[in-house]
Amino acid sequence: MDCSKRRAAALGDLPVDPLVEILCRVPAKSVCQFKCVPKAWRDLIADPHHRKKLPQAMQGLFCVTPDESSKAYSFSFIDLAARSVPPDIDPSFSFLTELPGIQALVLLGSCNGLILLGHRQEYSITSSLAYIVCNPRTKEWEAVPPCSSHSPTLLTFTYLAFDPAVSSHFNLVQFQVETHEEFLSVHTYSSETGTWSDNQIDEQGEEGQLEGWHMVRFNLADPSPRCPFINGFLNLLVWDDDEMKIVALDVQGKSRRMIPVPHVANRRS
């Protein structure tokens, strides 16, 4: 039995083209796992004609370099996966910067294959920061409007939450801080509804939420994109008085627990 007949036998009566279209919508990790089942599946997925359509696992680093002269940023991508064909990645995000109204992009974070970028509609520090969430591999993107509650006098820290194993939708969790009052509010965005919602910390005293959270006044310990999203929770480092803690929040911006950091990891100890 030749290769084509063995493949047809293993795939049964499933036509190849619709099957490839189905596999195109499956996460890259699952596609790699499918190659470990019958050889017909391995041959189908490894076929050069089909491989371009199928999702490829992407492992790499996006690097950001500030350009002092233009006050903008340049991006580069370092591929960490050994492969014969380099990934089709556009590290300059030209498919976004060529859009009308996009002046400059700022890399704010990433989560499970998606990139969170910020941009302003014009070169002005008083204009609100809008967002774009994109998949750098497929070049699919979605624009997120600025939070209507934002004021130019506020500092904002925005984090991306996305788990493709749970949902194809993503969430943004944004903290707004008035430094002179040390007040902090939480706002969340859902790509499923396309809307922002407010979640004031001093209103989070309901049953099932973290007791005392609404009474805590703290500074963000690390206002950088490093905010791991694990099992449905964002894990954020904060300073509560003089003690570092980890606050776990869900995608609605509601706190669920606060964990003291061991003193060995507390840089102020």
What confidence tens digit (pLDDT) does each residue in 184-218 have? 678 899 999 999 998 755 444 443 445 445 555 55
Domain boundary among 51, 66, 88: 51
Which residues have C-beta within 8 Å of that of residue 105, sequence separation ≥ 6?
73, 75, 93, 96, 97, 117, 118, 119, 132
pLDDT band at 79 (very low <50, low <70, confident <90, very high): confident
Q: CA 9 from chain center: how many Å?
A: 41
Domain boundary among 26, 51, 76: 51
Same domain membership, residue 47 and residue 152? no
Mean pLDDT rounded to a whole number for the chain:
74
Same domain membership, residue 151 and residue 268? yes
The more confidently predicted of residues 199 and 163 is: 163
Indicate the number of domains in the chain: 2
Is residue 131, in this structure, part of any structural domain at all?
no
Is residue 82, in this structure, part of any structural domain at all?
no
Residue range of the domain that includes 263:
147-269
Buried/exposed 234-267: b ≥16 CB within 10 Å, e otherwise: bbbbbbbeeebbbbbbbbebbbeebeebeeeeee
Closest CA to 129 of 107, 109, 147, 154: 147
Is residue 79, in this structure, part of any structural domain at all?
no
The more confidently predicted of residues 238 and 144 is: 144
Is residue 68, in this structure, part of any structural domain at all?
no
Is residue 23, in this structure, part of any structural domain at all?
yes
76: helix, strand or coil: strand
Give residue-wise pLDDT tens across range 228-247: 899 899 998 877 777 788 88
pTM, rounded to two decimals: 0.70
Domain boundary among 51, 69, 88: 51
pLDDT band at 29 (very low <50, low <70, confident <90, very high): low
Is residue 198, in this structure, part of any structural domain at all?
yes
* Nearest-10 Cα torsion for 10, 11, 12, 18: -170
Buried/exposed 109-137: b ≥16 CB within 10 Å, e otherwise: bbbebbbbbbbbeeeeeeeebbbbbbebb
Is residue 56, in this structure, part of any structural domain at all?
no
Is residue 158's pLDDT more than 70? yes
Give residue-wise pLDDT tens across range 33-78: 777 777 777 777 777 676 666 656 667 777 777 776 656 677 777 7
The more confidently predicted of residues 36 and 123 is: 36
**What pLDDT is recorded for position 142?**
94
Is residue 132, in this structure, part of any structural domain at all?
no
**Average pLDDT score over residue span 88-98:** 81
**What pLDDT is recorded for position 204?**
46
